[in-house]
Structure 1
Amino acid sequence: MNTSTPPRFDPQRVPHLLGSFAPVTEEVDAVDLDVTGEIPAGLDGLYVRNGPNPRFTPIGSYLYPIDGDGMLHGVWLSEGRARYRNRFVRTAAMKAEERVGHALWGGVESFILPGADQVGPELADDFKDMPDIHVVGHAGRLLALAESACPYRVDDALGTVGRETFDGALPAGITAHPKIDPLTGEMVVFCYALEPPYLTWSVIDRHGAVTRKPTPVESVDEPMMIHDMALTERYVVLTLAPVFFDLEAAMAGGSFLAWRPERGTRVALIPRDGGPVVWATDDAFWLWHTVNAYDDPAGDGSVVLDYVQWSRLTIAPGHEGEGPPRCALVRARIDAVAGTVTRTELDDSRVELPRVDDRLIGRRHRYLAVAAETGRADLLAGEYDALRWYDTARGTSLLWPAGDLSVGEPVYAPAPGDDSDKHGHWLTFATDRTDGTSWLLVLPGEDPASGPVARARVPVRVPLGLHGSWLPSSPGE
């Protein structure tokens, strides 16, 4: 696999390494951020977000959002004040690159893997850890999550502790979107792999102990990419879109990911009690992110799943004659008896990065939020210039256009002691496309379309990235 002459690659021609996506290398600490407006006194905790941020200029290839080193951006809020810190997630591979001052691994599509003479036998001829997708807190652990690999544990100051295997019980790791059951405290996870077993799921209890070791999902007999999952009181919900890993094509200079729509999309309802998997089949579609899922209150055995649907995988070559991939916010009803999926479009606007109040994961939700587009033509894939909120009970939505700001995923911070999913605040990072300044925005849950009640100026540009969490200072909040 090792090569001393990387394929011809010009990072300056990769849009997702430029502009608002361009990586930053400076690690910064700042207290008493300048604030426009007023940070609500009840916001007491840490908002932290992860995202791809190459430590050195990439070689070979760069595929957003899969490639890149992890960088955590944290804003601590308390008593109306804000402080900021950003830190790389320092994997063993990154440390090896820092010793020589340049990239040693190529992107996932280039297969540039350094040899033992460059990085030693432990890291040689293996893929680089890239915990750059998400960051979650569970059982006293703060975890930076990769696409499908071991997460990295970080401390309260965002310093890297090391690779997390959960006391050796999950040596292959987990994916970037575990789901934490707010009632049981369990974190349910899954993992896909290039070798059998190709797909497994596991459970970590509220104390951090693995109570279900990796359990293979039946009827999965080849390697597939699955980015997100959903959870209900009864089921783990996995959507298997027809995205397959093609090692032979990649070694011949083609794409590592193959979109095969003729295979259709399957949905697995995996009973949390360990019962047999229920499969439902549908026409081909791809999803990056689920919104939430819940057992149908009608009691007919169906599952309701809200998600952002794409007509095909957005990072693989399309088939001849295909136009740009189509996007829609969709509600699916999965019949566990008939094995069928019925889909209803809630909105055909171009949206992504959906979130609900995390206290409602696995239960029926009313409100959801997304990053959205207003229709301007100069946005890149993965760049959004608005936030939108949906009331699924009324079938209505609210929009806050962000103007020259590129905004990220909205994360809900509940009001302390309030069970409502409307009285808290939505948090997101935003970067001004005209001058590169970045801000933490705080928007009111009761009237988010009125715009931010506070903007905290971040002293370094925060590259457009992916997912984050709100971690209240008091566990009961």
Structure 2
Amino acid sequence: MTTTGHVPSYLQGHLAPVPDEITVRDLPVTGSLPPELTGRYLRNGPNPLPGHDPGHWFAGAGMLHGIRLRGGRAEWYRNRWVRTRLLEGEPHIRRDGTFDLTVGPANTHVVEHAGRILALVESSFPYVVTPELETVGPDDFGGRLTTAMTAHPKTDPVTGDLHFFGYGVLPPYLTYHRLSAAGELVTSAEIAVGAPSMMHDFAITDRHAVFLDLPMTFRMADAQRGALPFRWDDDYGARLGVMPLDRPGEVRWFEIDPCFVFHVGNAHTDERGRVVVDGARYAPADVAVMWPSLGDDPAGPAATAAASGQATLHRWVLDPADGSVTESPLSELGCEFPTVDDEIVGRPNRYTYAVADTGPDGEPRAAVLRHDRARDELTGHELGRDVVAGEAVFVPSAAPDRAEDDGWLLSITTTRDGRASELLVLDATDVAAAPVARVALPRGVPSGFHGSWIPDPGTDGSTAPAGTA
């Protein structure tokens, strides 16, 4: 739809889309970029075409923003729309309410696997893009992928396999998939669930996949009128499903307290065989505040008035031996976008990183956070009231036998008025310290969703795409 005289909040300030694509070289750097940071930081997010109102922040056409670092220099910034069929004007949702898997906005994440860069959204096939951010096109892995692909796949750091899932609004509602380290789709298995629910993320351990079947269910009527088609459902319940990776499709479900989770931090199997899952948890009242279009005040007016609308770090411990579940908060501070070192995904981790947008008093507050599980300690790099921090991506150092936090955090920050942005580089061992470096970006970059650090080939033993400037 085109915009009218009223400009909604998701098209203003730090969320305001940029109108064009640019490339700017030799970016100003304050501080000193570590020479080990040789590669590209790519970040995805919604950016509707000029004059277009997608109806919700989540629905805007995907745009990639990239910063090229090499030899202590910031060589370039460029931004490009993911040129999907949706960008060309084709509808993503069909008349029957189902999604056309070749059309989606590709606006949520960008990852690299088997030498290819994939722009992702949970309602369609992935779109392949080049290291220069030009669009190649949708990919169904040689015709083997018949469902959408989550925007949050997980790479097993030992096997190199990429685990993911797809959910749909018609059966099969949930399907697990596995790509080999070479990029071949080798496993697909349907998982039985009661209804189509919004499943944004999931987790893996060294031997399990963990699925989040939560009370945000699909409404056909909303889809047909062009609204976001998921709403809170008090009657659906909430549960986590544990599937052995060597027995695809066999899932044991654990009932948990009602909540919603957009993003998992990590999971692992402990020494007793229990599955431990950490994530950013929204209580029902917080869902109503954070995303009122998805619920009819599920916790009641009084509870909603007292709610913050923010997620907090939370832990679930699932015991297959007796079927028990233990839940506990890891922190009371509101935060989102939990991340960990990719080299320990699915294994026990000491550190979880996240970002805060609002302080305990409800006032604007930007901070990059580090939660030290061993010390039960939360520290932050404060950015002030006038800035918004994007997801903090951990980049490991190349030191042999490095500590878990030996590396850097990369985050794109944007002023709340949307006028200016920087690439912030923090020392992950001392997040509260002054930045290691700040790269001034040539424009305000709209707040977005998720990104990845893609190192140059040979800088960390990877096989990232080559042949680029």
TM-score by length of 1: 0.87
For 1:238, the equivalent position in structure 2 comes to 211
**Shift in Å at residue 375 of structure 1?**
4.3
Q: Could you tell me whether the CA contact under 8 Å between 2:148 and 2:168 is conserved in 1?
A: no
Matches within 5 A, 1:22-421: 22-59=16-53, 62-64=55-57, 66-82=58-74, 83-94=76-87, 96-97=88-89, 105=91, 128-212=103-187, 214-218=188-192, 220-251=193-224, 256-274=229-247, 276-297=250-271, 299=272, 301-312=273-284, 313=287, 314-315=290-291, 316-317=294-295, 318-319=297-298, 320-321=300-301, 322-323=303-304, 324=307, 325=309, 327-372=311-356, 373-375=358-360, 377=362, 379=364, 385-403=366-384, 404-418=386-400, 419-421=402-404
Alignment check: 8 A CA contact 2:333 2:360 kept: no
Tell me the equivalent position of 1:470.
453
The answer (yes or no) to whether the contact 1:165–1:173 under 8 Å persists in 2 is: no
1:41 Cα deviation after fit: 1.5
Which ranges in structure 1 are unaligned for 5 or more consecutive residues?
A: 1-5, 98-103, 114-123
Report the AA paired with residue 198 of structure 2: M
Does residue 1:423 correspond to 2:397, yes or no? Answer: no
Which structure 2 residue ranges, 5 or more long, are not aligned?
A: 463-469
Q: CA shift at 1:172, angstroms?
A: 2.3
What do the CA deviations read for 1:10-60 (whole angstroms, capped 9, x no partner)?
A: 58442111000000122111111001111112211111100011124334x
Contact 1:246–1:258 (Cα < 8 Å) also in 2: yes
Separation in 2, partners of 1:161, 1:376: 46
Partner SS state of residue 50, structure 1: strand
- Per-residue deviation at 1:331? 1.3
Q: Percent identity?
A: 36
Q: 1:424 to 1:326 in 2, by over 3 A?
A: closer
SS in 1 for 2:453: strand
Classify 1:327/1:170 alpha carbon distance in 2 versus 1 (closer, same or farther; 3 Å): same
Cα distance in 1 for partners of 2:101, 2:131 equals 30
AA partner of residue 328 (structure 1): T
Encode CA deviations 1:336-387: one digit per residue, 9 max, x unaligned: 23333211111111100110011110011001110013346564xxxx6111
> Is residue 244–residue 251 contact of structure 2 (8 Å, CA) maintained in 1?
yes
Q: Quote the offset at 1:132 in angstroms.
A: 0.3
For residue 198 of structure 2, give the secondary structure of its aligned residue in structure 1. Answer: coil
Deviation at 1:417, TM superposition (A): 3.9
RMSD value, Cα: 2.5
Contact 1:284 1:311 in 2 (8 A): yes
- How far residue 243 of structure 1 moved from its aligned partner, in angstroms, is 0.9
Amino acid at match of 1:80: G
Tell me the SS of whatever aligns to 1:263: coil
Offset at residue 171 of structure 1 (A) = 3.1
Task: Report 1:429-444 matches (<5 A).
Answer: 429-433=412-416, 436-444=419-427
Distance 1:238 1:431 in 2: 33
Displacement of 1:205: 0.5
State how far apart, in whole Å, the 2-side matches of 1:413 and 1:294 are: 21
Question: What SS does structure 2 have at the residue aligned with 1:347?
Answer: coil
The residue matched to 2:330 in structure 1 has which SS?
A: strand
Q: What is the CA distance between 1:326 and its match in structure 2?
A: 5.1
When the two structures are superposed, what TM-score results if normalisation uses the length of structure 2?
Answer: 0.88
Structure 2 distance, partners of 1:250, 1:77, is 42
Could you tell me how far apart the structure 1 residues matched to 2:5 and 2:283 are?
28
After superposition, the Cα gap between the structure-2 partners of 1:14 and 1:131, relative to the gap in structure 1 and judged at 3 Å, is same
Verify the 8 A CA contact 1:39 1:453 in the aligned structure 2: yes
CA offset at residue 328 of structure 1?
1.7
The 8 Å contact of residues 11 and 58 in structure 1, kept in 2 or not, is answered as: no
Residue identity matched to 1:146: V
Helix, strand or coil at the partner of 1:190: strand
Aligned mates of 1:243, 1:136 — CA distance in 2: 26
